[in-house]
Structure 1
């Protein structure tokens, strides 16, 4: 839990810095949420609670996900939102 909190704090700082750099060019609205447990369920919960128009996730690099299915594939199959998968 402590490591997760440290990682989250680091990500928040990076997002805040990036948003600050582009504030005169773009109006960036962002929120940072953390969910413990299964990533798929966390993303579904977040998308539902935030009434998301779309979900953007990174592609999995783990070989086992080609067999079992990655979070991205599970989100696409759920068909509840448009899903963009980035490398």
Structure 2
């Protein structure tokens, strides 16, 4: 029997709040001797964007996602290897809420940790974290 979560899923996207969530999840996984899975979800550029794109916005979005993924992989190899932690980075492409829910189900996650959204629109339309909480399948920790 385990005293804490067996598997912790943390959503990361390179933002400051998601990196804080990753740090919190790493500490929790280390203290609880849990498996840590960090999920980075690459989003598809809008289907209409290539039609209106005259300035290379699609390439910029993809380049930015490539850079974030490289940085996250480096962080995992360099920093987490020295902690002797059962951790891995999973990269998926799709809609973040759907991919987090699917990954949590597949991994049988005991806890989901995400960073707080900083977008003003999310106060009205709902943020990823509030959708995960309303989903009600796992304990969700939202890190500011």
TM-score between the two structures when normalised by the length of structure 1? 0.85
**Which ranges of structure 1 fall in alignment gaps of 5 or more residues?**
none
CA contact (8 A) 2:114 2:129 kept: yes
Matches within 5 A, 1:44-59: 44-59=101-116
Alpha-carbon offset, residue 2 of structure 1:
4.5
In 2: Cα distance, 1:67 partner to 1:22 partner: 40
Alpha-carbon offset, residue 41 of structure 1:
0.6
Matches within 5 A, 1:4-23: 4-23=65-84
In 2: Cα distance, 1:45 partner to 1:55 partner: 12
SS of 1:35's partner is strand
Runs of 4+ in 1 over 3 A off after TM superposition: none
In 1: Cα distance, 2:107 partner to 2:63 partner: 26
**Which ranges of structure 2 fall in alignment gaps of 5 or more residues?**
1-61
Aligned length: 83
CA contact (8 A) 2:116 2:143 kept: yes
Residue 98 of structure 2 is matched in structure 1 by 41
Alpha-carbon offset, residue 69 of structure 1:
0.5
**1:74 matches 2:131:** yes
Higher strand proportion (structure 1 or 2): 2
Alpha-carbon offset, residue 16 of structure 1:
1.9
RMSD (Å), alpha carbons: 1.4
TM-score between the two structures when normalised by the length of structure 2? 0.53
Higher alpha-carbon Rg: 2
